[in-house]
Amino acid sequence: MAYSIAFGKAAKRQFDKLPRPARQRLGDAIAELASDPRPAGVVKLSGEDGLYRVRGGDYRAIYQIQDERLLILVVKVGHRREVYREH
């Protein structure tokens, strides 16, 4: 079963600000999550309840899997130096 992908408001804004090549690469990685939300290379974040990260070059997307709704919710997007910081 394929999952739907949704972006949180802030994550969509962050994604749209990425440079075009990074946006393309990370977008491809996020799109692949629809068929397999937990592929090899995806890391469950420690200390964060139910959050995972996917890589796209130097950029990361932090997302939540909602199995009961077949939904992947992207909650944060950013450069690897910045994305893990709270604010």
pLDDT tens per residue, range 15-72: 999 999 999 999 999 999 999 999 998 999 988 788 999 999 999 999 999 999 999 9
pLDDT of residue 33: 96
Terminal CA-CA length for the chain:
35
What integer is the mean pLDDT of 6-18?
Answer: 98
DSSP class of residue 2 equals P
CA 62, CA 51: separation in Å to the nearest integer? 7
The pair of three-digit structure tokens given for residue 12, joined into one six-digit string: 């969509």
CB 9 within 8 A of CB 46: no
For Cα atoms 5, 8, 9, give the angle at the middle one, nearest 5 degrees: 135
